[in-house]
Amino acid sequence: MNHKVLYLSYDGMTDSLGQSQVLPYLSGLAKKGINIHLVSFEKKEFSNDIPRIKKLCEENGVVWHPQNYTKKPPLISTVKDIRRMKKVALSLHEEVGFNLVHCRSYIPAIIGRLLQKKMDLKLVFDMRGFWADERIEGGIWDKKSPIFKRAYNFFKRKEIEFFNESDAIVSLTNNGKQEIESWDNIPNHPPIEVIPCCADLEHFRSDKVDSKTVNEKRIQLGISKDDFVLGYVGSIGTWYMLPEMLDYYAVLRQQKSKCKFLFISREPKENIVNLALEKGIPENEIIVTGTTHNEIPTYISLFDFSIFFIRPTFSKKASSPTKQGELMALGIPIICNAGVGDTDLIIKDSHAGIVLESLNKESYEACNLDPSEYDKDEIRAGAEKWYSLKNGVEKYFGIYEKLGRLNRQREI
């Protein structure tokens, strides 16, 4: 069957998330013959990158329809974006004649549900996490506000509708899947496929990282060869527990004779340094640098050990940290906290680092970050088992094929 897929994303492709967690999947599916039209919402601050992403999509057979993302005022701007998504989706369907709509998270699923009901398209609900609960637990929405409380209740009702009425559901984690299956108000949902935030394992290969370039970056960043480098990669805020990570580093620097905390992040340096200074950590031990997605493997290769602490709230049961697969693909051991998605299970299964049950000085002091105790090849094998982009593409293709067979049976 010639699958014509409309992929709706409220995340932008000029965002690092879009480049790591949308485009690689869609490129892989396009190579398998899927006709994909992608609608995404792009932030103004990344607009200079649109020509590059457009070229990338064209080279990989993905037809991209970027839209402008609006941020203010809260909620009202989102409603306006939803209306634009609806208009674009209906217009494209009239032109192309899709047989399936793939919705990345809850806002696109509103439009996907409309297309399912009005145009008889198959609906894939790629939930990406318990979105409404993330807004509350992350402090983005204040439930004490009548407006945000109303928005939360609206999306929780929609959540049940999406689970009951979608033709296929994708969860990032087994933990999230088990949580959904324990609810007694979604008797109609189809089987849930688990596809974590996969990594392009060919891009994140240590044997493809040029050692000369790594040494040049080391010198450029002021890291000596005998420095122990604790590394963090990605955005900071909302879920990532920067104060606790700095508390951990404050203990680590008492255990190591020389060390640096390297942040590969677009976060303003002063936001990290000011908090570090409050905790007695010298500014010269904190390094903050941004980079392109293509260069991330080079920078990660500077890490001796990596770290991420994430708030273990209810919504994080369904969370799959993008950085985990990338770090493991490069053989970098990880120290993280328990209670987030399938992270504990994967770290332990892959012998890929340390999982802390408690975040306090006693547990920090009991840790021994010794990279020599970890086998890079074994960690890499864990990434191949859990985070293979190839496997992720095959699972999505399998969903499309199954829904295509259902369509054919119905036509007969």
Say how many Å lie between the first and final Cα of the chain, rounded.
14
44-53 own/partner pairs: CB under 8 Å, 24+ apart: 44/68, 44/69, 46/12, 46/14, 46/15, 47/14, 49/14, 50/14, 53/13, 53/14, 53/18, 53/19, 53/23
What per-residue confidence (pLDDT) applies to 238? Answer: 81
Sequence-separated (6 or more) residues with CB below 8 Å from residue 10: 40, 41, 69, 81, 85, 104, 105, 107, 108
Radius of gyration of the chain measured on its C-alpha atoms = 22
Looking at residue 314, its amino acid is F
Q: pTM of the predicted model, to two decimals? A: 0.90
DSSP per-residue letters across 54-70: HHHHHHTTEEEEEEE--
Could you name the CATH architecture of 206-386? 3-Layer(aba) Sandwich (3.40)
Half-sphere exposure of 265 (CA within 13 A, CB side): 23
Is 66 in contact with 36 (CB distance < 8 Å)?
A: no
Q: What is the DSSP letter of 191?
A: P
Question: Domain 4-198+388-411 falls in which CATH fold?
Answer: Rossmann fold (3.40.50)
Token pair recorded at residue 215: 């040494």
What is the biggest distance separating any 2 CA atoms in the chain, rounded to whole angstroms?
A: 73
- The per-residue pLDDT string of the chain (412 residues; one tens digit each, 9 = 90 and over) reads 579 999 999 999 999 889 989 999 999 999 999 999 999 999 999 999 999 999 999 999 999 999 999 988 888 999 999 999 999 999 999 999 999 999 999 999 999 999 999 999 999 999 999 999 999 999 999 989 999 999 999 999 999 999 999 999 999 999 999 999 999 999 888 899 999 999 999 999 999 999 999 999 999 999 999 999 999 999 887 889 999 999 999 999 999 999 999 999 988 999 999 999 999 999 999 999 999 888 999 999 999 999 999 999 999 999 999 899 999 999 999 999 999 999 999 999 999 999 999 999 999 999 999 999 999 999 999 999 999 999 999 999 999 999 987 565 555 4
Is 99 in contact with 122 (CB distance < 8 Å)?
A: yes
Rounded-to-10 torsion of CA 301, 199, 390, 34: -130
Which residues of the chain does CATH 3.40.50.2000 include? 4-198+388-411, 206-386
What per-residue confidence (pLDDT) applies to 408? Answer: 56
What per-residue confidence (pLDDT) applies to 412? Answer: 46
Burial class for 208, CB neighbours closer than 10 Å (0-12, 13-18, 19+): exposed
Q: What is the DSSP letter of 195?
A: -
Q: Is 209 helix (H, G, I), strand (E, B) or coil?
A: coil
Strands (E), 202-343: 228-233, 259-264, 286-289, 305-308, 334-337
